[in-house]
């Protein structure tokens, strides 16, 4: 379990990139779970590899984010790990809704990490 010690001055870009990376991996876990992985492939794409990548990404979030973001990220991480371990316990529509939210979070954090003036 990641430590929840306070983080000194945060590098905003690194924090947002780590959050985007985490949410992208969580999204990919649900994408694979639902069998929707035919158009988008990031490495790794095997469930066990994605689980390890998600745990590593969560550690990176804990290393660069404040407690509130860490708690929210931890809750999403735990939820996705539960769903991938017990997929039949949750209606597909609920999983799809969570998957959409995770995708939106990944995109939002990526956009915030790279402001428009830097992307042009």
User: Does residue 24 have a pLDDT over 80?
Assistant: yes
In a domain, 1, yes or no: no
In a domain, 81, yes or no: yes
Domain around 20 = 12-35+43-112
User: Does residue 37 have a pLDDT over 80?
Assistant: no
Average pLDDT rounded to a whole number, residues 79-108 = 94
pLDDT averaged over every residue in the chain: 85
- The count of domains in the chain is 1
Helix, strand, or coil (residue 2): coil
User: Does residue 35 have a pLDDT over 50?
Assistant: yes
In a domain, 5, yes or no: no
Other Cβ atoms within 10 Å of 96 Cβ, number: 13
Strand boundaries in 30-69, DSSP class E: none
pLDDT at 9: 33
């Amino acid at each position: 379990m990641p430590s929840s010690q306070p983080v000194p001055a945060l590098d905003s870009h690194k924090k947002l990139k780590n959050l985007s990376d985490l949410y992208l991996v969580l999204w990919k876990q649900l994408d694979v779970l639902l069998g929707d992985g035919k158009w988008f492939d990031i490495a790794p794409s095997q469930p066990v590899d994605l689980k390890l990548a998600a745990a590593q990404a969560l550690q990176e979030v804990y290393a660069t984010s404040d407690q509130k973001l860490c708690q929210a990220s931890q809750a999403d991480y735990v939820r996705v790990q539960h769903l991938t371990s017990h997929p039949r316990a949750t209606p597909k529509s609920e999983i799809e809704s969570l998957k959409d939210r995770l995708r939106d979070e990944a995109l939002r954090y990526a956009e915030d990490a790279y402001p428009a003036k830097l992307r042009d």
